[in-house]
Amino acid sequence: MTTRAGRVIAQAKINLMLRVLARESSGYHQLETLFARIDLGDVVTVKTAPGQRSLRCEGLAATAGAMGPPERNLAWRAAEAYAAATGFPSGFAIDIEKRVPVGAGLGGGSADAGAVLRILNALSPAPLSPAELLALAGALGSDVPFLTTESPFALAWGRGERMLVLAPLAARDVVLALPGFSISTPEAFRWVSEGLGWRVAQPLLIEADALGSWAGVSAIAGNDFEQPVAMRHPLIAELSTVLTGAGARIAQLSGSGSTVFGVFDAPPDRLALEASLRAPAVYTRTATRVVAVEVLE
């Protein structure tokens, strides 16, 4: 069999709105979220390798043991799931250049998994339909379906597998404030549950026009994880306040954290911002397109 390879930038995401809804009998929480991809992403390369399976990670956090065993890595699991469903490929070699902080609420691992699924589908002699590909993605995690699509902006609910694809908003500058610690997602869900006391989520009417402008999105922005996480980690609230004071239209936690992001209508004053932020900052922008898979010769 001829060896083939593909590469793509696995763009990370931020959650412009995130609500934790009802808990299923399985213990899993329903979610409602507004996803936006950003330009920051890992570089993922997949090569078909008959009879072999390997994963190599380099770059940010990859040498600190933060990636865990290969078999537990979402990118590895995505390749295994694709192979089990289609019989292709008979082996794979995955190479990831990490640029997205690990365990930061930016969906880096999920983006890598989505990238692997997209690459394998581009290389496959019998590619899956979009619906079939999303079914594989949904079994891997709630962020993976969105990060497997070719949409930079979407409203999602349930377990992330149901989505309304939206026209991307104009690109905006984004500052990612990185506190230097991770938040356990199961812990964050427990904190939210304790805080909500199983209250029914308040009704929310989202006008279609609101999702077509930054002003409209700003009006519905929020994250149910932020308050309970900030109660345990006060730096989260401090970072949000600093970003707001620097002119951010939206400043809040992404996912279950720990990254706090700010969306700016105009480029912020970096020197002034970094003098106030008690955390490293990464500068990027919201994405208006999803990077296409490059099939390598």
Is residue 14 located within the same domain as residue 147? yes
Question: What does the pLDDT average to over 259-269?
Answer: 97
Rounded to two decimals, what is the model's pTM? 0.93
Quote the pLDDT of residue 27. 55
Among residues 167, 187, 212, which one ends one of the domains?
167
Residue 202 within a domain: yes
Quick check: is 160 in a domain?
yes
What is the number of structural domains in the chain? 2
The predicted pLDDT at position 262 comes to: 98
Question: Mean of the pLDDT values across residues 221-244?
Answer: 95
Say which range, 15-24, 25-34, 148-157, 191-200, has the weakest mean pLDDT. 191-200
List the CATH number of the domain containing 47: 3.30.230.10
Q: Are residues 16 and 107 in the same domain?
A: yes
Residue 163 located in a structural domain: yes
Q: 76-96: per-residue pLDDT in tens?
A: 999 999 999 999 999 999 999
* Domain closes at, from 146, 167, 188: 167
What pLDDT, on the 0 to 100 scale, is given for residue 206? 80
pLDDT of residue 72: 87
Report pLDDT for 70: 83
According to DSSP, the β-strands at 222-223 and 5-23 are parallel
* CATH code, domain carrying 181: 3.30.70.890
Q: pLDDT band for position 128 (50/70/90)?
A: very high
What 8-state DSSP symbol labels residue 291?
P
Per-residue pLDDT tens digits for 29-41: 678 999 999 999 9
What average pLDDT score do residues 224-243 get? 95
Query: Given this model, what pLDDT does residue 14 score?
Result: 98
Chain mean pLDDT for the chain: 91
Render pLDDT for 175-217 as a digit per residue (tens, 0 to 9): 999 999 999 888 988 888 776 544 555 677 788 888 999 999 9
Q: What is the pLDDT of residue 25?
A: 60
In a domain, 291, yes or no: no
Q: In the listed set 127, 148, 167, which residue is the last one of a domain according to the structure?
A: 167
The whole domain housing 129 covers 5-167
Q: Are residues 97 and 231 in the same domain?
A: no
Q: Are residues 126 and 185 in the same domain?
A: no
pLDDT of residue 204: 74
Residues linked to residue 36 through DSSP beta bridges, in sequence order: 14, 153
Q: Is 65 within the bounds of a domain?
A: yes
Domain identity same for 69 and 92: yes
In angstroms, the CA 138 to CA 31 distance is: 13
Q: Is 31 helix (H, G, I), strand (E, B) or coil?
A: strand
Cα–Cα dist 54/73, whole Å: 11
Positions marked catalytic: 13, 143
pLDDT bracket for residue 127 (50, 70, 90): very high
Asked, for residue 49, whether it belongs to a domain, the answer is yes
Same domain? For 177 and 144 the reply is no
Beta strands at 53-59 and 5-23: parallel, antiparallel or unpaired: unpaired
Residues 205, 245, single domain; the answer is: yes
Burial class (CB in 10 A: 0-12, 13-18, 19+), 87: exposed
> Does 97 lie in the same domain as 181?
no
pLDDT number for residue 63: 45
Q: Do 198 and 217 sit in the same domain of this protein?
A: yes
* Predicted local distance difference test score (pLDDT) of residue 67: 60
Q: How confident is the model at residue 64 (pLDDT cuts 50, 70, 90)?
A: very low
Is 143 found in the same domain as 217? Answer: no
Asked if residue 222 has pLDDT above 60, the reply is yes
The radius of gyration computed from the CA coordinates of the chain, to the nearest angstrom, equals 19
What residues have CB less than 8 Å from 117, skipping those under 6 apart? 78, 81, 82, 133, 136, 137, 144, 148
